[in-house]
Structures are given as structure tokens and as C-alpha cells.
Chain A
Amino acid sequence: MDNFTFGVTMMVCGMGGTILTLWVLSLIMSLLGKAFPEKKEEK
């Protein structure tokens, strides 16, 4: 694979993959935060 294709693929898939993965994780953690709010006794 030539360097140009490699570089562009890494940038697109790498940056896209990182932000997409972290976005999915942030959504899941938001949902979990709502599903399991802090209980009174924990406070």
C-alpha cells in the first residue's frame, strides 16, 4: 500500500473510529448514569 493511501486511511478511520467509539461510550455511560442514579444511602 502506498504511503498516501495509508496516511489518509489512518487519519479517516483512526480519528473517525476514535471519536465514534468514545461517543458511543459516552452515550452508554449517560444512559447507565440515568438508569442507576446515586441512592440516598450512597450520598
Chain B
Amino acid sequence: MEHAILGGLQGLTNGFLNLDWRTLVMLFLGCVLLWLGIKKGCEPLLLVPIGFGCILVNVPLSEVMGEEGFLRTIYNMGVANELFPLLIFIGIGAMTDFGPLLANPSTFLLGAAGQFGIFFTLAFALALGFPQLDAVAIGIIGACDGPTAIYVTAKYAPHLLGAVSVAAYSYMSLVPVIQPPIMKLLTTDRERKIIMPSMTGTVSKTTKLLFPLVITVIGGVIAPQGLPLLGTIMLGNLMRESGVVGRLTKASENEIANVVTLFLGLAIGGTMAGEAFLRAQTLIILCLGLFAICLDTVCGVCFGKLMKIFTGGKINPLIGAAGISAFPMSARVVQREGQRYNKKSYLLMHAMGANAGGQVGSVIAAAVMLSVLNGMGII
């Protein structure tokens, strides 16, 4: 009898006996992510479930990521097989208006320049001694696109999923803080004051309907490894523009995206177990992620300057900063900065075009990267 009672009491204290410094640090980190999401409003839809998942997996003796654990089930159901990022992409496609991009297709190029940070960061990660596929996963933080980063990392460096996802989503929410100093540093006062004429060109419904098909087919032929990414975002956009499947469009941008976001966040949080996350390399990955997003902005603004020269001064180089995938946050930053230096300057629609170009650009960059890796026989 006494023995049974003592055994029972021991069962209640086992958790305390298994507390170690890693557990405490990770529980604290989970709370920090929750604080960032709830109090600071940084990507709350992702950071709240990620933070809670992080807490769940780090409670001592937690079995949520064990063989039969519910987080493991969610992870296997949609992260390990890359399904969740693709479902989110359908929602993103359904939510995004590519009209400003189609009205001025040259802004596609700004979307390309805004992805160069991916490749510079990849090279830098290699120089720091990361294995090749790990460097690919780290570089993809520069896509500034959570689902793309998760898709590539889950496929080729799943052990880095927690660090890469946290970096991608945290820095995306910090775009309004990261970009303005770089924009100011790289442009002259005169350049920042350039007024771009308002966009008069409109886009026909036929062009809007052909856009997702062209991107899917041409992009898919050039970079077939990225077809799932391209195909899902463009399917969402086709549904939106067709206007005949309103229920599916609404479900994609609301119910499906919401449920998948919850599952994705929890599963990513579940990968943040102390022994896997608390390493020096996590800190390096967070630094490299910041480096990647800064470089994206640098390349975007520099390309904007180049376009300004080629167009005889008609382009305000600030819109180059919007060539990243943080949509529409980056476009708003450009509009705000443009107005700060010239009250008569309205860059929003031009920046929205570049930002939509960045959205397509990030997916194309990932697709190109995967196809080049495939061509080299790495994957």
C-alpha cells in the first residue's frame, strides 16, 4: 500500500525531476514568441501557435512529438510531406491581386532582384561551413516568404525547420523596421523625391485569367521542381480572377488557410525541442536570415537605381525595396518612406506591382533553385 502511494507520488514529481536548463530556456522562448504575437502583433497567426507548440514540446516528459503524439501526427500529416505550405499557397494566390504587376510588367524584374539575397546568403552559409542542403534552407529565408521557406526546409533540411521558420516569420514582421534605414542609405535625397506618374494602364480580365496559366506553364517548364509551389499559388489566383468559384476562393483564403496555419504553426513549434534548437547554429541561422532580408532590400533598391537610369529618371528607386515577398507590408513601407521625403509622391501602386512581382519572384527563385540542385544531382 505504502509502496503504491509513494510510486503514485513519484509519478507526479517526475516532471520536476526532469527539468533542466534547456527546458527552462525553451519554455521562456515559447513565451517570448507568444508575447511577440499577442502583445507586439508580429505575425500573430503564426507566432502564437508556434510559441504554444514550442511550450508543449518542451514540457518535461512531453510526448506530443513522440511516435503517437498529436503534434507528430500533425507534422507527418502536412509538414513532412510539404502539404501545408502548398495549401497556404492556394490561399495566398486567392488573396493576391496581381493587377498592379500586370499593369506594369517591368516590375517583375524588381521582384527578381529582391530575391538575390537568397543566393548571396546561401554562399555565405557555405563559407561558414554549413552543409550544402542546410545552406540552401538558410538561404531561402531570403525569399521573405514563410510557406516557401517551410516547403524547401521541410524537404531538404528538416532539422532546421524550427530555426528557419522562426527567422522567416519574425523578420517578415520586422520589414518596416529593417527596410527604411537601408533605403535611406542607398538613395540620394533627389532620388527619394522622384514623383512617379500615376498608373493609368488597366488590365483586361482575359489577361488576368491568362496570367496564372502562363506562369504555371512557362515557370513549370523552366523549373519543374518548383511546380507544386507555382501551381498552387496560381490555382488560387485563377479561382479568384475567374469569379465563378467564389465558394472555393473564400474557403481557400479563409477556412483552409486558417486551419492549415494553425496546424502548421503547432507542428513547427513541435520541432523546437531544446536539445535540437539550443545550438550555436540556431543563432547563426537567425543572423543569416536577417542578413538575407537586408541583402534582398539592398539588391532591390540597387536594381531600382539601375531602372531609374535606363528609364531616364522616371523610376523612384525606393520601389525596388518592395521587390520582396512580404506582401503588402513592403509596399506600404515604400509608400510611407516616399511620402516622408516628398508629400506629393504616391508610390503605393507602383510598389504594389513590385511587391506582387516579389511574391511571384520568391516562388520562381525557389523553383529555379530546386531545379538547379536537381540538375547538379544534389537532390
- Identify the A interface with B (CB < 8 A): 1, 3, 6-11, 13-15, 17-19, 21-30, 32-33, 36-39, 42-43
Contacts and interface: CB of A to CB of B under 8 A. Distances in A.
Contacts of A3: 126-127, 132
A31 B112 CA distance: 20
Interface in B348-379: 357, 360-361, 364-365, 368-369, 371-373, 375-376, 378
A8 to B, nearest CB: 8
Given A18-B115, A23-B112, A29-B108, A7 B102 contact: no
A17 B267 CA distance: 33
B126 A6 contact: yes
Contacts of B105: 25-27, 29-30, 33
A7 B122 contact: yes
Contact of B376 (A9, A18, A27): A9
The 9 closest A-B pairs by CB, nearest first: A26-B108, A17-B368, A36-B206, A26-B105, A22-B112, A7-B123, A19-B112, A38-B204, A29-B105
B6 to A, nearest CB: 57
Contacts of A22: 108-109, 111-112, 357, 360-361, 364
Majority SS of interface residues in chain B?
Answer: helix
- Interface size, B (range): 35 or more
B326 interface: no
A17 B201 CA distance: 29
Contacts of B112: 18-19, 21-23
Interface stretch (B78-86, B210-218, B244-252): B210-218
Nearest to B209: A36
Contacts of A6: 126, 132, 376, 378
B219 A15 contact: no
